[in-house]
Amino acid sequence: MASASKWPPRRVAGVAAVVGSVVLICAGAFAAIAGSGGTYVGLGAHGSYRTDRYGLATTSTNWRTELFGWAGSVRLRVASVGRKPIFVGVAAPDAISRYLSGTRYTTVAERTGGGVVRTDHDGAAPALSAARAVDWTAHAEGVGTQTLRWDASDGREIAFAMNADGSRPVRVRVVSSAVTLDRMPWWVPAGPLALGVILLLTGIATLRRTARAG
């Protein structure tokens, strides 16, 4: 059996074309599945957060712009740390700001390159139940992992977590955040798939000619 180093250039080119075609076809298939709307693609956000105040809020995010602006819907999973029920919700910044006005809470923001920036706000305990006081885009309450799903919009939104009974401290764990890619252009999966098929046919034809010549 001849070693790869002794193969004629045409055979090497044919094998390279077949291998490259497989990579392109796999990439196109993955993009097609991701763009179908039923598959969530993780954004990498996770970690544990704690505050001795009454709630934890994120900075505002326009989820529609995630992953090249292709996000269609969002899924956020947040777990309680311990056996205490938690409340988790997502709403527009104005709605959250009105509810938290005069409340003792903490804002957390992911720092570019890693790390978290915390901003503590002074105030008192919330006067009203969060579930009833805010027009939430999505919310959930209970012990263990709470899952929120909502359609990504052009507006900015804030995620908020607190103990369901309004007590402190608050300890939660972000399990995952992910989006579907419903708005992915059709040519993103179609391009690699078409190029992969062409490259595969070219590679097979090249290998056949090499075999006949040998």
Q: What is the pLDDT of residues 51-95, one digit of tens each?
A: 999 999 999 999 999 888 899 999 999 999 988 999 999 999 999
pLDDT, tens digit (0-9, with 9 covering 90-100), for 43-63: 877 789 999 999 999 999 999
Q: Quick check: 170 and 87 in contact, CB under 8 A?
A: no
- Return d(Cα 91, Cα 138) in angstroms, integer: 7
Does residue 1 surpass a pLDDT of 50?
A: no
Looking at the fold, whether 103 and 152 belong to one and the same domain comes out as yes
- Give the pLDDT score at 213: 72
pTM over 0.85: no
pLDDT band at 30 (very low <50, low <70, confident <90, very high): confident
Q: What is the DSSP letter of 186?
A: T
Domain range for 131 is: 40-180
The arithmetic mean of pLDDT across residues 146-158, rounded, is: 92
Look at residue 44 and tell me if it is in a domain.
yes
Shared domain for 142 and 45, answered yes or no, is yes
**Confidence band, pLDDT 50/70/90 cuts, at residue 5:** low
d(CA 54, CA 29): 46
Give yes or no: residues 106 and 142 share one domain: yes
Number of folded domains that form the chain: 2
Please name the residue that has the structure tokens 């708005």: 183
Query: Are 94 and 44 within one domain?
Result: yes
Query: Is residue 14 scored above 60 in pLDDT?
Result: yes
Same-domain check for residues 161 and 192:
no
86 and 48 together in one domain: yes
Does any domain span residue 169?
yes
Q: How far apart are CA 20 and CA 15, in angstroms?
A: 9
What is the number of residues in the chain? 214
Taking residues 117-136, report their average pLDDT: 91
pLDDT at position 7 over 80: no
Q: Do 59 and 150 share a domain, yes or no?
A: yes
Question: Before 169, cis peptide (omega within 30)?
Answer: yes
Do the domain assignments include residue 148? Answer: yes
C-beta of residue 76 within 8 angstroms of C-beta of residue 158: no
pLDDT at 46: 78
Residues 152 and 203 in one domain: no
Residues 151 and 208 in one domain: no
